[in-house]
Structure 1
């Protein structure tokens, strides 16, 4: 039903969205409104999605024939805002 590739695309999208929400919504609310509730709420799901993204990228790399440089770019994109969206558009659309 769901291949590793399709699951990775979904995880990449969700990880990117959770990172954006955490950085640009939850963190400002934490420091400007002194309300850490949203960081606590989004932190754990984002962390799990981040770990899933890394593991799945490493498992998928040989199947997609990514060289070391490409894998490093895909992994680095997980810590750059909007990076996973770039990966989807640049590396995953080609493999589809």
Structure 2
């Protein structure tokens, strides 16, 4: 924030957040009251919270996809044993009782 100009001239993208922070910092006696403005400015510069949220969403998506794939694999293994077992006419693992 040295010059106040962006790379291509004009106002940089985070300049409004910088102005809010500098205004708060100039008007207060306790700088710790401006932590919200400072956090907004740093988030605009570095996008740390946005990146962390994107990683969380991606990890949850991958976890659900792996869980669904595991369930589908389990169902496919049962069906691959035989069509009759898949229909439910023969109970696997149980002894048949004759009347």
Give the TM bin, normalised by the shorter chain.
under 0.3
- TM-score of the two chains, using structure 1 as the length reference: 0.28
Higher helix share: 1
- TM-score of the two chains, using structure 2 as the length reference: 0.27
